[in-house]
Structure 1
Amino acid sequence: MNSDKVVQSSCCASNQESGGHGCTGGDIHRSTQEREKEEKVSTCCHEELPKSSSCCSVKDGNNNLLDGKEDKKGGVEYNIHGMDCPSCAATLEKSLRKMKGIQSVQVHYGTGKMVVGAGDPTIYNQVPKQVQKLGFEAEFIHSPKMETYKIEGMDCGSCVMTIEKHLGRNPKVHEVRVNFSTGKMHVDHTTSEKEIVKEVQRAGFEAALDSFEYQKNEASSKKKREGASTTQVSGIFLALGFAGSFSNVPMEFLTAFYAVAMVIGGFKPAKSAFYAVKSGSLDMNVLMVSAAIGAALIGEWLEGATVVWLFALGNTLQNKSIARTRESIRSLMNLTPPEATIKSGNHLIRKAVEEVTVGDVIIVKPGEKIPLDGEVLTGTSSINQAPITGESLPVDKQQGDIVYAGTVNESGSLEIKVTKLVKDTTIAKIIHLVEEAQEKKAPTQAFIDRFARVYTPIVFGLALSVMVIPPLFGSGTWGEWFYKGLALLVVACPCALVISTPVAIVSAIGNAAKNGVLIKGGTFLEKAGVIQAVAFDKTGTLTEGQPKVSEVIPLNNNREELISIARTIEAYSTHPIAQAITTYAEERKISGKEGNAFKAIAGKGAQANIDGMDYFAGNPKLFKEMNVSLNEIEERMDSLQRNGNTLVLVGTPTEVIGVIGVADTIRDMTVESIQTLKKVGMSEMVMLTGDNEGTAKKIAGETGVDRYFAELLPEDKVTAIKKLQQEGKHVAMVGDGINDAPALATADLGIAMGGAGTDTAMETADIVLMADNLEKLPHTIRLSRKAMNIIKQNVWFSLITKLAALVLIFPGFLTLWMAVLSDTGAALLVILNSMRLLRQK
């Protein structure tokens, strides 16, 4: 788990202990106001400032702001991708300490972070390049200056290296990261956007600054059409030459047809190959162009033209397939209407959503999509929230309820006060988080990338050896071995292998997002696939989190007096149990008394002074510590607890005057979801709660969990998670993302529920269930496991295809065009296999 999760955890835990009601040890949800207050505290007290220049940013000698977030110990903090064992951390530390100007290096394998201290602040921008040379990736934590560009024309994963190396040589570019699967480039620079676009063009590709609206670029789609027509024209000339070989057409004409086919179809690969060589990388374009030129040199014009055309065709098909995957999430943006109806006095005005400001009142009629996030002012309706939360049934909304952009108003007309600008809506945040997640490399992908960096130059060297060594020793002709070397060149690029993992991850994360689940990256997708046990927070996760008074037992036969005193003590508390008692009193029109000296007793209850006497409302532990005898009510207390009630005792420092039982209700989807999780192979379902043993046992029996831990404080939940891990299980923790932050951070996988209602949940957990129920959790586990199976299929298929091609080269069975077909065909099949994850129900 990342360290900022742990930071947040401690803050949340301390808040909880200071303000929590004693009856559940902070197990039950807080109110919305309390949550918002806590979110502000947690970001403030830990200096987690917005993504802009901040007091903890680092400046160089010219007072230019660097990207990195300065660690409190005086260094700059980086995220490290690609470490698959603790020895990788040691390698990084040893290597970076040798860099001139570096004073200290600390690499934390568990959190994937590195802190570097340097005397000269300009050193910090050189660190990512040095880390990349070691086979890993480093990115500054918090990168306010990063710009994102859409890249067109990348045919395979090795094109990434060409762009990164080319831009990396520009002194004004501090950091560049290109992601093949999403088609995006993130670059930190001190030059202009125009210059960056030109640099990418010089490397043989097209770039455009990625705007928030994700609108499709007409020039880009025109280039795609041109690319397709180039392949078609090349194919026509190849077909003419091939057809002519069966007639009396002179060889010179046939060679001309093949040469034209090679020039037209190979122009773009040749251009890309030129810049790849210039950048010092060996990508598929270099290998393919080398093979085509070599075929022409030995007179195999048909072979050369076929190689070029098959390569161009394969790239066209791959680009179309990968474009579908890349656009799968962006299609969510089409769910929001471009305009909104604004109420201005007695008039209705249509405005573009970009022009609507916070506080404006919008009108949404039945059947219309809600254009922006907001709060319902008037009207009642059923809202289809499936685009945000994945919920299958509409949700009733009325005055005071929150509604989200992109959801559908199914029945009544609504007046909604806008609470967020178009760029800050929940759906915009989902798209941003998902695209960020799709670019985070999973451990499998990082390993394959490092393998490919070593594999390609080795096979390239082997191809040159095959061309030269056997003929030198008189084993066959130069032409024969030169041809075999060319075939080996074509086979050399591990295209299918490199894209075997990222395309599957992008597809799975895209599918999950459309179903109301945010998976924060490939690492967490992989972890979800190996989870064996799931621990659930009880209140608000398995249950509704809205307790109600179920029993009132006065010991002095004055029921109203007991409720009045309890209401007075709980009047200033926002804890759900306190609110349950207050609501119960309001419904029965029982008013409170005059009180003062109100005080919360952390983990135990609350107190107030009424008519000159101190009164307490809290759990049995509170009264036991005050040495108040509970013998007379012991039996009643046990009976209430066995029936699933949480107890609130009301009394003075010398006696108990009554007992109030408060009970929670199980969510509708809980039992069904737990049974489905068992069917998909979860070995153990565990419930964690601050409630008493009796309540825990009753809820566990009703929900179908296998095991429970009762009477837990927030820190005890962490201990329970560690106990499960010590038993050898991979554990996922499901909570609300705020109260359960310490346990979420400790578990192998943190899953937050109800992400649509709180930004903190979306930022804290590894996986977020946007709906406030467990309905989508089994789908998430199934999807993760299928993704892992598909990744394994892709990797093995790629390796076996490559191995078979290599074996067939030497007996002479593998021709050049067959080598191309095996490579591009394998890559295409890997992409199509990964795309099955987009359709997973």
Structure 2
Amino acid sequence: MAEASETRYRVGGMDCAACASKIDTAVRRVAGVADVTVSVATGTMTIRHDASSDLKAVQKKVTGLGYSVWPFAGNAVPSDEHGLHDHADHDHDHDHAGHDYARHDRDHRHGEREIEKLHGQDHATMTGSWWQSRKGRLTIFSGAALVAAYAIGHLVPAIASYAFIVAMLVGLLPIARRAVMAAFSGTPFSIEMLMTIAAVGAVIINAGEEAATVVFLFLVGELLEGVAAGKARESIQSLTALVPKTALLEDNGQMREMPAESLAVGAIIIVRPGDRISADGVIISGESAIDEAPVTGESTPLRKGVDAVVYAGTVNGDAVLRVRVTAAAADNTIARVVKLVEEAQESKAPTERFIDRFSRYYTPSVVVVAALVAVVPPLFLGGAWGEWIYKGLAILLIGCPCALVISTPAAIAASLSAGARRGLLMKGGAVLETLGKVTMVAFDKTGTLTEGKPRVTDIVSFGLGEAQLLSRAAVLEQGSSHPLALAILNRARMDGVPVPPALELEALPGKGVTGEVGGETVDLLSPPAARERGALNAGQEARIAGLNDEGKSVSVLLVNGLVAGLIAMRDEPREDAEAGLSALKSAGVKAMMLTGDNKRTAAAVADMLGIDWRGEMMPEDKQRVVGELKRKGFVVAKVGDGINDAPALAAADIGIAMGGGTDVALETADAAALHGRVGDVARMIALSQRTMRNIVANITIALGLKAVFLVTTIIGITGLWPAILADTGATVLVTMNALRLLRIKA
């Protein structure tokens, strides 16, 4: 069997799931195509195919349905099909940051216009204002023709019916062409086919005026769908617009401007105050306040210095920084977020899959019902043919499934985008749907509920002043990367304590460190090591025991063999941990802490946060506890760092990785909280619940309007144009309702 390849296309003009379904059905019929994935949310199509597949035929199938199509940059596709492969969509500059879009923006816009000329798509992508698109122009021409027909009808009543037929044909001919192409491509029951049958049937029964009006309203509805779908699509893609197009590269001591997309890993860039950072990197000199709100939504600028990680698209505050690039443009944080959200939007939720299956049977059923309404009363009940055919045609229009099939994906796409813009990544509709059902959240401790790095909490002096005690301890810890050493050095820096150089420093493995400081022999030891030297008295031992009971690690400072003081450190809870857990409790969700730390430390942290806990747990123990919780009937979300907690993350119904843009946070588990805030878990759950309420409302709108108009049509209250309003109006209402989710503040 030939090796399968994958080719990705941008498809212009897809506004709803029905569009995607038609394209999917048509492309699957091309020889050599093994699988097709079409995403309305991202405006893309991905096909898996073997070497025998004719990619020209794939493109012709899609363009024949009235959509514009062109391969992404880098796809190996034939180059002689009207130059289609050269035309990347640069009005969606922000598709994938790794693609070389900006450089050829003008040429590609010209290419897109050439595609429209060659194929005459009514569905071509809206690259500017709505009235500049082919769909917009067609709607305007149809409306103008309808107005002209009304004017002619008043001036010359004898030819009014012909004027309305001409007005109808202005809008109907492109629709009918798409209907025929869809039928030949395997989708006979498309909305275009229903529209064509209804309009032609209306003319046959002398309802030409209504037919022309219905066609115009249909085009208006399609145009509004396109505008709404475009807004949803642009919400997440606009993130890439945050990354500047150029960067200042340091090259042999000189600065030169270059395209940001061309920066190589390891390059040194200069970031001036007020500039956006053009690549992910590490600060190698300088210290500044970094505004990360554009990327993570974090409102407070963070002070960052040497060795701190910075992200593309964030804003440098008040000082010049030199940054070493750590990721190419295609792999920076924003590009990965966009890619993950696009992939998530292509992953269907259970509700969406059910609606898709339902719609396959729903539309043919509507056609059958419409036919029965048109034929049965005249044949068997003595009804008038004209009256009941008219009602049957109206039912065809009412029955279009567009609003129904878009009700779920529109809401999910909007929620995934809204979440991503606030640092909440959820990998697909299924994850988003399940999050709202979570009843138990199991947290890791270190780095999740706590900061992940110890801080000095107590300085207990036995003779020396606190500053002198801290200074001597910091002298001994210079150059060490141990977390406890870093805690002491950070506290010394915060307190402005002098740290003079030390002489003859020596590490005591498993015990501590010793050295000469200002003519004194100074030791910083663990309590057992100090105990071995007989340095501790009963009062000092009691003080150490009390600090240990609070979950704190203690170091003992000896000066010339005598205890000068104690320094206690602890990994403190995050500032938002208590508020985040309280938010979960308010939402009726229980929480538990699972940690590998000792029980004394675990108990101390759990008491501060008011949370149930399990301590001294190996990874397999955490996995076992998650399993037990599920067997008790809980829907469990496990929150951790994505590495040590991997077994438990996999065992949970939802695994959530915590972290600010790291590979682990972005690429493991089912969801990721980029802020690393405990409260983000409650925000994810709340977003899921709002989304599901939105979906229920959408389905109610879609089916409710159709039910009302179905009844009113059969009893003769409403006719063709209200029927089309029931369809296009419901679709627009559903889409606009879904777009409200973009305004969610997380």
Pick the aligned partner of 2:32 from 157, 172, 180.
172
2:59 aligned with 1:204: no
In the other structure, the counterpart of 1:377 is 284
Structure 1 equivalent of residue 82 of structure 2: none
Structure 2 CA distance, aligned partners of 1:396 and 1:248? 75
What are the Cα deviations for residues 271-304 of structure 1, in whole angstroms up to 9, with x where unaligned? 2111111122211111111111111111110111
Question: Could you tell me which residue of structure 1 aligns to residue 241 of structure 2?
Answer: 334
Matches within 5 A, 1:517-532: 517-532=424-439
Task: Say if 1:548 and 1:328 are closer, same or farther in 2 by CA, change over 3 A.
Answer: closer
Cα displacement (A) at 1:426: 1.2
Is 1:713 aligned with 2:618?
yes
Query: 1:14: which partner in 2?
Result: none
What are the residue-to-residue correspondences of 1:59-208 with 2, within 5 Å? 60=1, 64-66=2-4, 145-189=5-49, 190=51, 191=53, 194-208=56-70
In structure 2, C-alpha distance between the alignment counterparts of 1:356 and 1:291, rounded to whole Å: 57
Q: Which residue of 2 aligns with 1:428?
A: 335
Matched, 1:690 2:596: yes
Amino acid at match of 1:695: T
Q: Alpha carbons of 1:551 and 1:835: their partners in 2 closer, same or farther (altered >3 Å)?
A: closer
Distance 1:645 1:472 in 2: 89
Q: Choose the corresponding residue for 1:304, options 211, 235, 248.
A: 211
User: CA offsets, 1:145-202, max 9 Å, x none?
Assistant: 3222222233432222221121111113222121223322111234565543323112
Question: Secondary structure in 1 aligned to 2:23?
Answer: helix
Q: Structure 1 counterpart of 2:573, which letter? A: I
The secondary structure found in structure 2 opposite 1:500 is helix
Moved more, 742-751 or 768-777: 768-777
Given that residues 533 and 682 in structure 1 are in contact (C-alpha distance below 8 angstroms), is that contact kept between their aligned partners in structure 2? no
1:88 corresponds to which residue? none
2: CA distance, partners of 1:429 / 1:721: 30
Q: CA deviation at 1:838?
A: 0.5
1:492 corresponding residue in structure 2: 399
1:316 to 223, 228, 239: 223
How far apart in 2 are the matches of 1:231 and 1:619? 82
CA distance in 2, matches of 1:717, 1:637: 31
Aligned length: 652
The answer as to 2:707 corresponding to 1:803 is yes
Distance (Å, rounded) in 1 between the aligned partners of 2:647 and 2:483: 21
Structure 2 residue aligned with 1:82: none
Give the Cα–Cα distance (whole angstroms) in 2 for the partners of residues 340 and 420 of structure 1: 14
One-letter code of the match for 2:136?
A: A
User: Could you say which residue in structure 2 is the equivalent of 1:752?
Assistant: 657
Looking at structure 2, the residues matched to 692 and 638 of structure 1 have their Cα atoms a distance apart, in angstroms, of 15
Please give the residue correspondences for 1:493-572 in structure 2 after superposition, counting only pairs within 5 Å.
Answer: 493-548=400-455
Residues of 1 paired with 2:480 and 2:278: CA distance?
A: 36
Query: Are residues 1:258 and 2:164 paired?
Result: yes
Choose from 666, 678, 681 the match for 1:777: 681
Within 1, Cα distance between the matches of 2:479 and 2:594?
28
Aligned 8 A contact 1:360 1:417 in 2: yes
Structure 1 residue 468: deviation in Å?
A: 2.4
Asked whether the 8 Å contact 1:646–1:691 carries over to 2, the reply is no
For 1:238, the equivalent position in structure 2 comes to 146
Q: 1:836 aligns with which of 736, 740, 745?
A: 740
**Do the aligned residues in 2 keep the contact of 1:641 with 1:693 (CA within 8 Å)?**
no
Against the structure 1 CA distance between its residues 817 and 155, is the aligned structure 2 distance closer, same or farther, given a 3 Å change threshold?
farther
* Structure 1 residues 692 and 375, CA gap change in structure 2 (3 angstroms): closer
Tell me, in whole angstroms, the C-alpha distance in 1 between the residues paired with 2:396 and 2:240. 43
Tell me how far 1:487 sits from its aligned partner: 1.1
- Is the Cα–Cα contact under 8 Å of residues 455 and 487 in structure 2 kept in the other structure? yes
**Which of residues 178, 181, 186 in structure 2 aligns to 1:280?**
186
Deviation readout 1:777-817 (Å, 9 max, x if unpaired): 33322222111110111112212112222222221222011
Decide whether the 8 Å contact of 1:151 with 1:206 is kept in 2. yes
Q: 1:373–1:404: 8 Å Cα contact kept in structure 2? A: yes
502 and 279 in structure 1: CA distance in 2 versus 1, 3 angstrom threshold: same
Farther-moved stretch of structure 1 (158-167 vs 508-517): 158-167
Counterpart in the other structure of 1:38:
none
Measured after TM superposition, the shift of residue 691 of structure 1 is 2.8
TM-aligned CA distance change 1:415 to 1:248, over 3 Å: closer
Check whether the contact 1:182–1:506 (CA below 8 A) recurs between aligned residues. no
Contact 2:642–2:664 (CA<8 Å) still a contact in 1?
Answer: yes
Q: State the Cα distance separating 1:513 from its structure 2 match.
A: 1.0
Contact 1:646 1:695 in 2 (8 A): no
Which string of whole-angstrom CA distances, capped at 9 and with x for unpartnered residues, describes residues 647-702 of structure 1?
899xxxxxxxx9996521122222222223333x1332222222333332322232
- Letter aligned with residue 242 of structure 1: Y
- For residues 587 and 667 of structure 1, the distance between their equivalents in structure 2, rounded to whole angstroms, comes to 32
Over the aligned positions, Cα root-mean-square deviation in angstroms equals 3.5
Structure 2 SS opposite 1:340: strand
How far did residue 494 of structure 1 move?
Answer: 1.4
Contact map agreement 1:266 1:312 (CA 8 A) in 2: no
- For residues 587 and 737 of structure 1, the distance between their equivalents in structure 2, rounded to whole angstroms, comes to 40
Partners of 1:248 and 1:378 lie apart in 2 by 80
Letter in 1 for 2:716: G
Aligned with residue 136 of structure 2, among 214, 218, 228: 228
Larger mean CA deviation between 503-512 and 663-672 belongs to 663-672
Between the aligned partners of 1:437 and 1:618, the Cα distance in structure 2 is 49
**What are the equivalent positions in structure 2 for 1:276-675 lying under 5 Å apart?**
276-281=182-187, 282-548=189-455, 576=483, 639-645=546-552, 662-675=569-582
Rounded Cα–Cα distance in structure 1 between residues aligned with 2:589 and 2:307: 42
User: Structure 1 residues 591, 200: closer, same or farther in 2, change over 3 A?
Assistant: farther
Q: Which residue of 2 aligns with 1:737?
A: 642
Cα distance in 2 for residues equivalent to 1:584 and 1:365: 30
Aligned to 1:725: 630
Percentage identity across aligned positions? 41
How far 1:580 moved relative to its partner? 6.3
Q: Is the CA contact 2:28–2:34 (under 8 Å) kept in the aligned structure 1?
A: yes
Change (3 A) 1:583 1:310: closer
Cα offset for 1:584?
11
Give structure 1 stretches of 5+ with no counterpart: 1-59, 67-144, 554-565, 599-605, 611-616, 621-630, 650-657
Match of 2:119? Answer: none
Query: Given that residues 388 and 770 in structure 1 are in contact (C-alpha distance below 8 angstroms), is that contact kept between their aligned partners in structure 2?
Result: no
Distance 1:372 1:325, change over 3 A: same
| Shift of residue 743, structure 1, vs aligned partner | 1.6
Instruction: Report the secondary structure of 2:313's partner residue.
Output: coil
The CA deviation at 1:633 is 11
1:598-641 deviation line (CA, Å, top 9, x unaligned): 8xxxxxxx799x9xxxxxx9999xxxxxxxxxx99997776344
TM-score (norm 1): 0.71
Distance 2:723 2:322 in 1: 64
Unaligned stretches of 5+ residues in structure 2: 74-95, 114-124, 461-472, 493-498, 515-524, 529-537, 557-564
Whose RCO is larger (CA < 8 A, sep 6+)? 1
